[in-house]
Structure 1
């Protein structure tokens, strides 16, 4: 070797050694999955591969998201509360942009659905779609149109396409084509089990008939199993069904059969995600990189209550394995999928924001098979991954002053250590659907107050019986809403003065 090249190569050696010590990171985000939908969190759905990651890793029982696709993905990518990013995306430094400064390779597969485009925000490879939801078989958007891309090239859909499988195909391809001397970050944003509920016939039929006992029975069964698995405390109660939940026993046999089909399709979609997680793990094992790869799995929000099944699907009795179908399940199933909590996607009660989160990393987790019950939030991922990559957050990026980043690293949790608690957690789906958590207290919609230590199912509103605590929470929420949301949710808008009736003229 030429003397100069030899010296140059030796000078790079420490970098490569350090790079190899830092873990690869795979963040798997599923779409609209309920808190109790995994086998390891109490479900009857077959998820052995994800369950194995949980058994060998850590189950985070108190992790939270933003209750909605776009808001969750924004906080996840930016490390900021999503309200801070409105009209301020250029000062945001995304996870892949930050990890790129540390020499990480950055790839993404799946649903984007936030500001800009993936390859403009730090990803070197990308396969997926940009909008909120698409057909699983042909890629058509729910509002029409088509936005699948292979890197930045429009993707031509093959006949045997199914999105969950295709995303994993590309993930495995990226791992195959990686630069082995450098670590990688991969964001896998599956669109399952978001509506439309679609899956191959053989997968749906595995679950056909298993839900004929109905949603009330399923909820009780899962609740019992969750206690056995120690996901929830033994003395926890099951939240009361929401007011819009129908009585299963009063439904006709025909409706029951239809409802069973819908839930079977939903279960099949989660089962297929699990099969693909198994494919991914098999690849990591084959390449002997599983041990030093951190795999995180979670959902972007709670189960979805919106039955938007389309009229042509009903009229033509289209099955969920038909690409022309557009099936959704109702709030009654969503209530069961969010066992034991109240409410659903978009709501800031626990049923909307609680997520069954799993972390697996054989080389870095020293407490496998354990639980972590500290409250965490999506903003923590940015801090965690910077910590693992040994990279600072930049003060400037691409000529812009970098916006303040938030979150607390999860790394101490991987060694079973307590990490600092959040001073507060700010939740906002819309300015009418908010929550504010400070210590054990949770303020919901600026109207309800709950003690999460004793009442995580939010059954006992303390806003009237604890007026001093209520006022404290309102004051703190208003302060943070002003800081993070320009006060849009908390500042009372001046009411328009009512027009006084005109006085009758004297004759």
Structure 2
């Protein structure tokens, strides 16, 4: 059986399985899909982090929490796959979206797979759910097309939108460089939705809740809300009272914080006790070798970053309270993940002025640095843009009280962001169309996650394939083929492939390429076939 769901097969399969999930239209669940930006694998409390995330931890513990879930390794390719259920190259975002900054870089590509915005051979989750009677809302970071309005949320299936179209924005005072939009209209001076200053995390939550409230006045449609926070992506900016919670907590240094996270991961069962903690990059300094000023600034950078995640969790609590107050909590499915691994940009110890509050909150590029990003990647090596575990493994959970009765165990089957669209189609009783507006559509590439609701195996018959900016991987558990800068313009550099047995080595420390050349050849050939089928090549 092929790894994707045939259109006709998918339609037939949805009907009997769906019967057990919702009896009729009135039982259709609301769906809230929450994505954070550049958050590391170990940042959340239930994933080993010291950052206070009680609301996210509660939802995960009382839903299905996945220990082996993968994104696509970078902002917009992940968003493209999440929204469409297709590989990024199928959607036209095989590299990144186009901006004036990287337009020349994209011009080197000859394939439409790298055009830099969503094409018309794909539909979004919102497109499909709207056809099945859902109200569709989006708030937050879009990053799927900028220059043409046809690529914006309202033209891609959403009824309402409030957020930033670009890959980042200032948290307190979005400006002309990275502005806020309401629907298709530019918002020159966005107003605060709280009694504090305007802050994107708060605004993206509150505008989404307002969309839902207004929709409830009009009709009783179920809703789909795509909530894409820009936090904790740079620029790292947060409220001072949130930052104060974490000042001093990171003065023990990178290695100590990382070790503590790893020990909590082992204790929770997230990571197997036989797996080892990967070493930090060799150029990461010893904490005690830093000057007092460097230590203080580094502690502050991580405190600001932690405060951004803390604020996200506060807003998750606000959403939970709203759902309970409006009697929608039980039949609302909440799904949560990060778009990629922790972000190493732009230097080892962080970028730009972090100490001056006014300067920090007006700077587009202030960051926490590669050293802390490797703490975020605990226990893995590598980070954002890599297809090693540190770049693509993400916290992921699904919470749905009406249908998921959790015992707090980890779900161990490997799952991928391509699986979200088939899952939402199944639980909503929606059929994936063969065409939309006269355009023939690609077939879905993932499988439904609904078997995981009862801790059953998924129907996946082949591996999980990835490629981003020449980095590539194929996961056929327990084997993982992975390479850095291996997928060149017209083919692969075979010498750069690595091979790991994740059942014994999830942190990718023992390269078995020379010990198992036949397995390496087999998987490399399979990856090459996939890459040419899904237009990774030619670039």
Same fold (TM over 0.5): yes
Does the CA-based 8 Å contact 2:40-2:377 persist in structure 1? Answer: yes
Q: Distance in 2 between matches of 1:452 and 1:278?
A: 35
TM-score (norm 1): 0.89
TM-score (norm 2): 0.84
Q: Distance in 2 between matches of 1:247 and 1:98?
A: 52
CA apart distance, 1:319 = 2.7
Bigger Rg over Cα = 1
- Can you list the C-alpha shifts for 1:284-323, whole angstroms capped at 9, x where unaligned? 0000101000001110000001136655x37xx4237852
CA apart distance, 1:240 = 1.6
User: What SS does structure 2 have at the residue aligned with 1:277?
Assistant: helix
Q: 2:522 matched to which residue of 1?
A: 472
User: What SS does structure 2 have at the residue aligned with 1:267?
Assistant: helix
Cα 1:323–1:477, aligned 2, differ >3 Å: closer, same or farther? same
Q: Distance in 2 between matches of 1:322 and 1:356?
A: 29
- Can you list the C-alpha shifts for 1:265-286, whole angstroms capped at 9, x where unaligned? 0000000000000000000000
Q: Distance in 1 between matches of 2:272 and 2:323?
A: 35
Counterpart selection for 1:439 from 477, 480, 484 = 477
Q: Distance in 2 between matches of 1:415 and 1:182?
A: 27
CA apart distance, 1:368 = 4.3
- Can you list the C-alpha shifts for 1:65-109, whole angstroms capped at 9, x where unaligned? 011101100110110000112237111011100111111111000
Cα 1:151–1:245, aligned 2, differ >3 Å: closer, same or farther? same
Cα 1:39–1:310, aligned 2, differ >3 Å: closer, same or farther? closer
Q: 2:18 matched to which residue of 1?
A: none
CA apart distance, 1:367 = 2.9
Does the CA-based 8 Å contact 1:481-1:488 persist in structure 2? Answer: no
Q: Distance in 2 between matches of 1:355 and 1:126?
A: 26
Q: 2:153 matched to which residue of 1?
A: 118
CA RMSD of aligned residues (A): 1.7
Q: Distance in 1 between matches of 2:276 and 2:358?
A: 35
Q: Distance in 1 between matches of 2:407 and 2:380?
A: 27
Counterpart selection for 1:214 from 242, 253, 265 = 253
Q: Distance in 1 between matches of 2:33 and 2:359?
A: 28
Q: 1:250 matched to which residue of 2?
A: 289
Moved over 3 A (4+): 308-311
Counterpart selection for 1:152 from 148, 167, 184 = 184
The aligned runs of 1:390-405 (5 Å cut-off) are: 390-405=429-444
CA apart distance, 1:366 = 2.7
CA apart distance, 1:185 = 0.6
The aligned runs of 1:265-344 (5 Å cut-off) are: 265-307=304-346, 311=352, 313=353, 317-319=355-357, 322-325=360-363, 326-344=365-383
**Which moves more between the two structures, 478-487 or 373-382?**
478-487
Q: 2:212 matched to which residue of 1?
A: 175
CA apart distance, 1:20 = 2.1
CA apart distance, 1:242 = 2.1
Structure 2 gaps of 5+ residues are 1-21, 93-111, 114-118, 146-150, 487-496
Structure 1 gaps of 5+ residues are 1-15, 490-507
Q: How many residues align?
A: 467
